[in-house]
Amino acid sequence: MSSDFYLRYYVGHKGKFGHEFLEFEFRPDGKLRYANNSNYKNDVMIRKEKFGLQVKATLENISKLRPDGEDFRWYLKLKCANCREASDKWQYISLMESVPLKGGRSSASMVQKCKLCSRENSIDILRDTIKPYNTEDSERFKTVVHFECRGLEPVDFQPQGGFIAEGAESGTRFSEINLLEKDWTEYDEKIQKSVGVYEVTHQFVKI
């Protein structure tokens, strides 16, 4: 019967971007079905977005609060921008970790496949955007780092150990500052005053 007739057109190959194909089907009901599967194109379609991490804290006799070294760990909770799946787990990224991106064009701090939609997403720390939090920033939000994301969004941040700072007047160096409890206090022998970082909060802004 003529109604059983249908035409299928397929062109594709299995290559380094997976199974890429283009397919048309003229169905007996007169409808046209079209399918296009290309991982390469999906990668291009994932937009790069930048997020700024803003921090606010009250500083007491302290300045130049900043992450210490290449191995500083930024603890984040991430969300897939494609399927909106958010992870409950804290994950960390650091300047020390670098993973090549598909196609070898660039690299990222972390590449991960979304558990729900299988999309390969990535996040990168933009090294040159890391800024110290200074005396004059006290009690105001300041952007301290930019993250470049492909298919991911940072939704939460948890400061932990690994911060350093200086005494605002004394220049005394304080290391191994842990902000997990949102408060940190010490005594500066040089000026015989207490120093501290209090009420640490944060927010993300789209750049």
114 binds Zn ion per the rule CB under 5 A: yes
User: 83 or 130, CB closer to Zn ion?
Assistant: 83
Rounded least distance, CB 116 to Zn ion, Å:
5
Round to whole Å and give the CA distance between 65 and 58.
Answer: 11
Round to whole Å and give the CA distance between 193 and 191.
Answer: 5
User: 68 or 85, CB closer to Zn ion?
Assistant: 85
Q: Residue 83 burial (CB < 10 Å; 0-12/13-18/19+)?
A: middle
User: 66 or 79, CB closer to Zn ion?
Assistant: 79
Rounded least distance, CB 56 to Zn ion, Å:
31
Rounded least distance, CB 102 to Zn ion, Å:
17
User: 45 or 116, CB closer to Zn ion?
Assistant: 116
Residue list 62-81, contact with Zn ion (CB under 5 A): 80
Q: Residue 125 burial (CB < 10 Å; 0-12/13-18/19+)?
A: buried
116 binds Zn ion per the rule CB under 5 A: yes
Identify any residues that bridge with 185 across adjacent strands, giving them in sequence order: 196
- The per-residue DSSP string of 76-99 comes to EEEEETTT--B-SS-EEE-TT--E
83 binds Zn ion per the rule CB under 5 A: yes
Contact residues for Zn ion, defined by CB under 5 A:
80, 82-83, 85, 114, 116-117
